[in-house]
Amino acid sequence: MRVVLGIESSCDETAAALVTDRRVILAQRIASQDDAHRPYGGVVPEIAARAHAERLTPLIAATLADAGMTLAQVDAIAATAGPGLIGGVMVGLVTAKALAMAGAKPLIAINHLEGHALSPRLADETLGFPYLLLLASGGHCQVLLVEGVGRFRRLATTIDDALGEAFDKTAKILGLGYPGGPAVERLAAQGDARAVPLPRPLLGSAEPHFSFAGLKSAVLRARQAGVHADADIAAAFQQAAVDCVIDRTRRALAAAGPVQALVVAGGVAANRAIRAALEALAGEHGLRFVAPPLALCTDNAAMIAWAGVERLGQDDPLDFAARPRWPLDPAADPVRGAGVKA
Ligand code: KG4
Ligand code: ZN
């Protein structure tokens, strides 16, 4: 049995995990920075980097202690090396390099998006390649054909905002605070989606790309009109988001060719309405639907450690540079807006 230590620090979660090549999470810890960023309504990069620098090393020590292990018993050190907020990424990557050097262990630099993309295989050993993945988080909204480890074909991306970002901005408009996704979902459950007409950007367009900026602006106008209940606005926003996601993913499925499963990952995969609609779409196509458990959807280090397991044998140089941008499919056509915020 081999064990990989995973480190995640690309946004506002400081996380460490120990995962085996038998898909067992021996230990994992996540320190959320929500409280530090809440007053600002979003993640402040400088505050995030400082918090990672303070918390990461003790968090790794505690994770090792939880598993009753020492660094000597770890087979490799995997860390997010991008994309993300560069200060935080540097903290995690430099820490991983120091541990790799001190322990004479291989360093495995992980693309955070690959961590999300492969996380469903940690949860489900029967999930084989290729699969169609909707990767929707605070910084990304892409549909990827996952053909293997390090082999991605990006079929769609957002031309403006990420889906999680649209949830977060809707939450801000409705005064729900940060992080917004779960709060919008809770409020939406009490509202009537038909009470507020909202647009579905790019619905029916030939290419499977996403757009959420116009939806966000419409939410703002609906709120400012002062005639709708907040719960109805939240419900209408969520329904519009679901309709867009399903229409766009259906289009991507048609372009993808044969796949093993329809898979969703990233923080927005925690949304029950989106999950349910994707499951129905998969059913329509006679496909399996795979969604990792909620704790594996939002940022965590178990997915980074697992990507490290998938890449065991790799040993990256100690001068591997942190990458603020790191597309999974470098050959993908650039689209307006590029769809990558961090
Ligand atoms: O993957 P993640 O933890 O971090 C990034 O890499 O961005 O995703 C965080 C995003 C946030 O925008 C958050 O509002 C959204 O995922 N999110 C949700 C839900 N839970 C988290 N969006 C909609 N519904 C949810 N239940
Ligand atoms: Zn993420």
Count of C-beta atoms within a 10 Å radius of residue 181: 27
- Verify that 163 and 89 share a domain, yes or no: no
Span from the CA of 139 to the centroid of ligand 1 (angstroms) = 9
* Shared domain check, 64 and 196: no
Whether 279 and 301 share a structural domain: no
Identify whether residues 288 and 308 lie together within a single domain: no
Domain check: are 166 and 249 in the same one? yes
Instruction: Tell me: do 37 and 146 sit in the same domain.
Output: no
Nearest atom in ligand 1 to 12's CA: 4
pTM, 2 dp: 0.92
- Do residues 147 and 99 share a domain? no
Same domain, 138 and 255: yes
User: Which domain range does residue 177 map to?
Assistant: 129-294
**In-domain check, residue 122:** no
* 143 lies in the same domain as 265: yes
124 located within any domain:
no
Q: What is the CATH number of the domain that holds 207?
A: 3.30.420.40
Give the residue among 290, 296, 292, 285 at the shortest CA–CA distance from 250: 285
CA nearest ligand 1 atom 3, residue: 298
Is residue 123 domain-resident?
no
Q: Helix or strand or coil: residue 18?
A: strand
> Does the residue 334 lie in any domain?
no
Strand, coil or helix: 52: helix
Same domain, 113 and 192: no
Going residue by residue through the chain (342 aa), what tens digit of pLDDT does each one get?
999 999 999 998 999 999 999 999 999 999 988 888 888 877 888 888 999 999 999 999 999 999 999 999 999 999 999 999 999 999 999 999 999 999 999 999 999 999 999 999 999 999 999 999 999 998 899 999 999 999 999 999 999 999 999 999 999 999 998 779 999 999 999 999 999 999 999 999 999 999 999 999 999 999 999 999 999 999 999 999 999 999 999 999 999 999 999 999 999 999 999 999 999 999 999 999 999 998 999 899 999 999 999 999 999 999 999 999 999 999 997 775 544 443
Does residue 151 sit within a domain? yes
333 inside domain: no
The total number of structural domains in the chain stands at 2
Asked if residues 25 and 17 have their Cβ atoms less than 8 Å apart, the reply is yes
Instruction: Measure Cα distances from 292 to 154, 205, 227 in Å.
Output: 20, 29, 39
- Decide if 339 is inside a domain: no
- Residue 229 and residue 282 in one domain: yes
Does the beta carbon of 181 lie inside 6 Å of ligand 1?
yes
Cα 228 to averaged position of ligand 2 atoms, centre (Å):
33
Is residue 340 domain-resident? no
